[in-house]
Structure formats: C-alpha cells, structure tokens
Structure 1
Amino acid sequence: MQRPKVAVVTPGSFVIPSPRSSSVERVIACMVPLASHELQTQIYGIRGAEAPDHGDLDGVLCKRYTRGKGYIPEVIANLKRWSPAVVDVHNRPAAAYAIREALPDSRVVLTLHSTTFIRGPHLNREDVARLLLPMDRIIVNSDFLGSIVAADSPKAVRERISVNKLGIHPGDFLPRWTPVAESARAARLDDFGWSGRRIVLYVGRLVPGKGVHRLLQALRRVVRACPDVLLLIAGSAYYGHDRLTPYAASLRRQMRKLRLEKHVRFLDYVPHPALASLYQLADVTAVPSVEDEAFGLVNLEAMAAGVPVVASRIGGIPEVVRHGETGWLVDPSPGEREMAAAMIRLLRQPDLRRRMGEAGLGEVRRQFLWQHAAHRWGQMMLACASE
C-alpha cells in the first residue's frame, strides 16, 4: 500500500534544522524523520544562510521559502502542486486556517506547542474557536495544554484534541553516574576553575515567565547552607543571540543587590548541541517557571543526563517530573523557601541526587523517547489520511 503524503509546516521563524532554533523546530527535526517509513513526508520551513533552498533532513525532503508575509502563500502554492493527504501545521492557528481554506481536499492538523498563539495579544477567545473549528485534529504536547484548548473551544473542537508527549534522544546526553562521565566532569570543572563547586544549572530564555528572578531569590538561601554552590544561567532573551533586554539586565542587578556575584555565572545563549556538556556539569537543574509551561523539554534533557530537577508545580511540568522520584516540584513561597529547601536537600545528599538522576533516566527511556512520540504522531497522521 502506498504511504500517504504528509506535509509538515514549521512556523517560519527559524531555519530547520539549526542549532539556534526554537524547540518547535527541534521537535519536528527529531520526530518527523522517525515516522518516514510509514509516511511520505515533506517539511516546509524558511531559507537561511546555513541551509539550501531544498535539502535532506535525515531522509525527509525539506523545502525552504522566504521568511515573512510571503512564507505561507509560497507554502500553499507548493502544497497545491504536491496534494498531500494531511498537512500538519505547527503552532500557527492562522496559518493552519489559511491552508485549510486553500486545500479543501487535504486533512489539516494543527499541532500546538504552547498557549502563546491561542491567547492575547495574538488571539481572543472568539478567534480561537473560529480558527480551530475547521481543523481535522488538534495535537498538543500535554494534558495540561489540551485542557487549555478545550476550555476555549466548542465541543466539536474538544473531540478532536489528541495528546502526543515529547521525547528525547538519550544518546545525546552522557549520564552523570558513570566513571567515564564523572572523570570528564571533574576535568571540565577544573578547566573552568570550578573544582569543588556544587553546580545548579538553569537552561532557558531570560524572560519573566521563566522565573529566573525566583531562582536568584532562592539562591540567597542556598548559599547560606551550601557556600560552595555555583549557579550557571545558560540562556538569553532570544533564540540565537545575546541582546540584553531590560529583564536580563534586571537579573544582573538583582544578583549584585543580593551579593551573589561569586555564586552566579551568566553564560548567555548556548546552542542546543552544546547544552549536553553543561548538563554533565550539573548537580541539580532548576526550572523555576512562573507562567504555564505546556511541557518543558529542559526537564527531559536534565533527566536524560541523570540530573535531578527542581521545578515549578505548574502547567504540564508535573506530567514530566515525578515529585520525590525524579525531582522536586515546588510552589511559590515567601523568599522562595520551598525551592531553596529542595535544592539544599539535593546538594547535601549525593546519594539522593544519584537515585533521583537514575530514576529520571529510566523514566525517559520508558516513555519519553522520540521513537515513542514519532510512533504516536505517525498513527495520528495515518488515521487522518484514512478519514
């Protein structure tokens, strides 16, 4: 039987593949090629200096067009020529709606990665219902995100919501708890001049919703209990470059006000392939979000590296981190006492860190591999194509 044609449309914000893209492009690049044995897939993205107009992405044809207002019209023109059975549009409801209007004979799926583009200022509640109603399926990455979509949608939309949790390639990360990894870690810490320091790692964008200001508040308490602690902050406000924003500048002022200069290093933006070596240095990974995270891939990355997580009990994070087993889930508290207490407990107990880290790696291998996500996605595409 001939494999059905499935087109995957990226948001058109970053080149795919790229070490400096957002998590949306990373999800597509990691997942879609793994389902190519069941589907004829093509990926649509934007042009960039580092990628040709057309290329091969692990066996999948990737077509690239000019970024901006002309991107979706160009994609639609090509889709009309190719006539896919299913078009999976990622994180852009308005683009999915335009493609639905232009290709009445194709099934159109909207895959949402966050709440960003189904909330103000991008859309109001009425627009969400209008744009989602024609979709043949809405795929979300967590039960939490599914509940948000359902709350703003009529019954016809709620019945079409499917959950496909994300994954990871564990081979991309060297787990902490092996003799080779520990030896490499010790050598790298010595190279940086951080030998003898206990490392807390933050990875992510420097925007208010990620809660790095919470982490600095907690760190003041951690320093009193663990004077050798060092917080590494790997990220910037934007994907791909280190432009200093008012919020990022405020974090540096907060660090100085709290007299934490000896305990914090801002590493700015780190391309994704280089993150594995940072996780290898960490004793604890902190995810201090204050706004709803639909999923939070950073939790999986830490777990794949065998590093326990201290994360906010918010959004879809509790679907990833098992409280008391692979990490600690914390609520906001005065002075961030709860977050600080969780970090102190882990930093003081290497056996607990190892037990939680190994449990996290096991959890990843059981249910959070890209092979798992790709299989579910492929089955969803096949079902849509046969409807």
Structure 2
Amino acid sequence: MRLLIIAPEQIPVPPPVGGSVENCIYQIAKQIKGNHEVTIVSLYRKHLPRTTRVGRATIIRVDGGSKSNYLRNAIKQVKGNRYDLIQIDNRPSFIRAMKQAFPNTPISVFMHSMTFVSKPVTTPSKAALDLGRANLIIGNSQSLKRTLGSKFPAQKHKVKYVHLGVDLKKFHPSGKSGAKPFHILFAGRLIPRKGIPVLLKAVQIARRSVPSIRLSIAGGTGKPAYKAYLRQTAKSLGIPVTFTGGLSRRQMPVFYRTGSCFVCPSQKHEAFGLVNVEAMASGLPVIASKIGGIPEVVQHGRNGYLVGAYHRPEAFASQIVKLAKQPELTKRLARQARIDAVQRFSWTQTASKLTRIYEGHLNRRQG
C-alpha cells in the first residue's frame, strides 16, 4: 500500500515542542511494517530539511503562511503521483481539494478531536459536507467514534477507531525508589478546558492532610494572561507549584519520571488523552476526569482512579490523599499502569490496526 498523509498546516513533522497530532503522524509512520510506503506532507521550517527519510516513510516539507497556501503547496508537491489511499489528519476542510486532485483515490480523515468539526471553527452543515466526501473516518477512541457517529449520523457507517500509542523506550519508569515528597504532575496546554484551577484547589485541600505534597505543571499557552491568572491563583492558595513552560519532546519523558502521580482534570470532552498513556508508560498512577475517551485508558482502581465529579476539587483531593498516604497502593497502581501501557498502547499496535483498516477497505473496493 502506498499511503499519503497530509499533516495539519501549523507545526512540522516531527514536532520539536507540542504538536500531539504531528507526533502521532510521525510515530505511526515509523511503525508501519511490511511492503507499505508512506509519504508525509508537512510544514517547512528553516531548521529542517525539505525531505527526510525515516524507515519506510518519506517526509516532504512545504511552505505554509496560511491554510490555503499550505494546502495548495502540498497538492502541487504530490500531484501526478499514485497513491492507494490518502490520510488527512484533523483537517476535514482539506478533503474537497484533495478529492479534486486525486478523484479516484480513497480518502481517510483521521480525527483527533471534535474541534475541527465544531463551532467556532466550522458550521455543522460545512462539517457534514466535508465528512461526507471522506471514504473513511478514523477516531482515536471509541468515545470519539460514538460522538462523531451521533453528530453526523449519515456518516456513522464510515467511522472506525484506533487508540493512540506511546514510545515505550523513551517513556519508562525511573527505577528509583525510596521516600520522597509526593509530587503531582500535570502536562497539557494551559487553557480553561484542561481544568488546572480545579487541580490547584485540589492540591490546596490535599495539603491539609499531607503538607509535603507539591505540584509541577508542564505546558505552554498562546495566552500569557491565562498563565498569569494560574500563577496568581496558586499564589493566593498558598501552594508550591512549578510552571516549567512548554517542554520539548525530548524533555517530556524526564519530566514524567520526576513524579509520584499524574492528574488530568479535564473539564470538557477529551477524545483520548495521550498524556495519560505517557504517564502510565512512565510508571505513574493516573487520577483523571471520567470523561470522553479517558476511561478507555485509565481503569478505576487498577492503574489509577477516575473522578466522576470532576468539577469538584474535593473529588480529586480525596484520591490524591489516598495515594499520598499509601505508598504501597501507589506502587501497585504504578506497576499496573506500566504493564497496561506496554500491552495496550504501543505505536506498533496503533500502526498495525490502522493498516488493517486501510487494507480491509481497499480489498472491499477491489472485490
């Protein structure tokens, strides 16, 4: 199978910082086995070469500037070549132009969230029109598959799901043991929907029972005023918080290995929650909101805890205190978290399931 992947227009593949969608594209392409050949079209940045070869994947980088300019350059770069299937990641609006350029090639759109099929990015009718042009729609969780099928019932028969993965060699437990202050980690964009104020208040409550608890927050934001608000909130609550800023892909595994547990207090639908898998692979129990695709990853009482009342800081605080006061429980959950990550969430498994879906689709077309 000759697979063409069109990445979004904002960040290069592989991404130096952030860029979870771009990282997924890169990791999946590296793991695709057999006789398959992958071509990725991505954004060009000065420090990167125009073309990179990684295993059986070739990354071609084109100029951006705007969404339309990037798409035009991407099509110009690959038009005239033959591909068995085209995958567009998280940009349903690209499907129309790609269909015009490759009228006989099936197109899959790999959705990583509902953002680009929802307001204010698009209208329901435009999103329905865009998805209607796709031959396949891939979600990154059963939750996202259900949500897409519910919102766009006419396309429900096209929707499949593939869980994302983690680099199990880079993300691994620290191997260090011994008594240390209980260290809570959070990683993600500093935006309201991630629920960081709920976490800050939960830490304040938990410290009444375990005063040594501390918190580190990794992530960048496009809105400095919101980060200032979070800093001020932490200060007013009187809790020790380290804001690391946005960390590079290379720095993130080291960050996870500094923690005792990971907390994901998302307040709105989280399609998958890749940070939870990275934390689990790093040997951390996860305390997370029972929302979206998170329960497909975090299993209550097995590798962490799910919080149903995720708007309430007290609900997170009680689970934090439970782990902080019971080191053996924390170790048991941590061991299971790593085992579950290894058994269920490798990039090899993600790539394998995705190629099976594509091969099945192509076989049905030919049959």
TM bracket, shorter-chain basis: over 0.9
The question of 1:25 aligning with 2:22 is answered yes
**What is the letter of the counterpart of residue 288 of structure 1?**
P
Give 1:343's match in structure 2, choosing from 289, 307, 320. 320
What is the rounded CA distance, in whole Å, between the counterparts of 1:336 and 1:58 in structure 2? 46
**What is the letter of the counterpart of residue 119 of structure 1?**
S
The question of 1:161 aligning with 2:159 is answered yes
What is the rounded CA distance, in whole Å, between the counterparts of 1:378 and 1:119 in structure 2? 28
Q: Displacement of 1:324 after TM fit? A: 0.9
**What is the letter of the counterpart of residue 165 of structure 2?**
G
The question of 1:250 aligning with 2:229 is answered yes
Kindly, what percent of the aligned residue pairs are identical? Answer: 28
What is the rounded CA distance, in whole Å, between the counterparts of 2:19 and 2:309 in structure 1? 27
> What residue is the counterpart of 1:104 in the other structure?
103
Asked whether the equivalents of residues 331 and 339 of structure 1 are also in contact (C-alpha less than 8 Å), the reply is no
Out of 23-32 and 78-87, give the one that drifted further: 78-87
**What is the letter of the counterpart of residue 72 of structure 2?**
P
What is the rounded CA distance, in whole Å, between the counterparts of 2:19 and 2:198 in structure 1? 23
Out of 95-104 and 80-89, give the one that drifted further: 95-104
List structure 1 runs of 4+ shifted beyond 4 angstroms.
none
> What residue is the counterpart of 1:57 in the other structure?
54
Structure 1 unaligned spans of 5+: 187-194, 239-243
Give 2:173's match in structure 1, choosing from 172, 175, 178. 175
Deviation digits for residues 152-181 of structure 1 (CA, Å, limit 9, x no counterpart) = 2133x11010110011121112314x3xx3
The question of 1:217 aligning with 2:215 is answered no
For the aligned residue pairs, the C-alpha RMSD in angstroms reads 1.6
> What residue is the counterpart of 1:235 in the other structure?
219
Distance verdict in 2 for CA 1:53–1:340, change over 3 Å: same
> What residue is the counterpart of 2:334 in the other structure?
357
> What residue is the counterpart of 1:192 in the other structure?
none
> What residue is the counterpart of 1:151 in the other structure?
150
**What is the letter of the counterpart of residue 316 of structure 2?**
M
Give 2:256's match in structure 1, choosing from 264, 267, 279. 279
> What residue is the counterpart of 1:241 in the other structure?
none
SS at 1:52 equivalent: coil
What is the rounded CA distance, in whole Å, between the counterparts of 2:33 and 2:42 in structure 1? 18
Asked whether the equivalents of residues 198 and 311 of structure 2 are also in contact (C-alpha less than 8 Å), the reply is no
The question of 1:10 aligning with 2:10 is answered no
**What is the letter of the counterpart of residue 212 of structure 1?**
I
Asked whether the equivalents of residues 289 and 310 of structure 2 are also in contact (C-alpha less than 8 Å), the reply is no
Q: Displacement of 1:196 after TM fit? A: 3.9
> What residue is the counterpart of 1:46 in the other structure?
43
SS at 2:231 equivalent: helix
**What is the letter of the counterpart of residue 17 of structure 1?**
P
TM-score, with normalisation over the residues of structure 2?
0.95
SS at 1:332 equivalent: coil
Structure 2 unaligned spans of 5+: none
- Correspondence 1:137-148 to 2 at 5 A: 137-148=136-147
Asked whether the equivalents of residues 38 and 378 of structure 1 are also in contact (C-alpha less than 8 Å), the reply is no
**What is the letter of the counterpart of residue 118 of structure 2?**
R
SS at 1:11 equivalent: coil
- Correspondence 1:120-135 to 2 at 5 A: 120-135=119-134
> What residue is the counterpart of 1:119 in the other structure?
118
Distance verdict in 2 for CA 1:66–1:334, change over 3 Å: closer
Aligned residues: 362
- Correspondence 1:76-115 to 2 at 5 A: 76-115=75-114
Asked whether the equivalents of residues 129 and 154 of structure 1 are also in contact (C-alpha less than 8 Å), the reply is no
What is the rounded CA distance, in whole Å, between the counterparts of 1:286 and 1:85 in structure 2? 42
Deviation digits for residues 89-115 of structure 1 (CA, Å, limit 9, x no counterpart) = 000000123212321111110000011
TM-score, with normalisation over the residues of structure 1?
0.90
Q: Displacement of 1:275 after TM fit? A: 1.1
Distance verdict in 2 for CA 1:335–1:24, change over 3 Å: closer
**What is the letter of the counterpart of residue 41 of structure 1?**
V
The question of 1:200 aligning with 2:172 is answered no
What is the rounded CA distance, in whole Å, between the counterparts of 2:88 and 2:33 in structure 1? 17
**What is the letter of the counterpart of residue 181 of structure 2?**
R
Deviation digits for residues 287-313 of structure 1 (CA, Å, limit 9, x no counterpart) = 011111100011001110110001011
Asked whether the equivalents of residues 95 and 107 of structure 2 are also in contact (C-alpha less than 8 Å), the reply is yes
Q: Displacement of 1:50 after TM fit? A: 2.3
Q: Displacement of 1:36 after TM fit? A: 4.4
SS at 1:81 equivalent: coil
Asked whether the equivalents of residues 217 and 335 of structure 1 are also in contact (C-alpha less than 8 Å), the reply is no
Deviation digits for residues 31-64 of structure 1 (CA, Å, limit 9, x no counterpart) = 1121142312101101012211111134411111
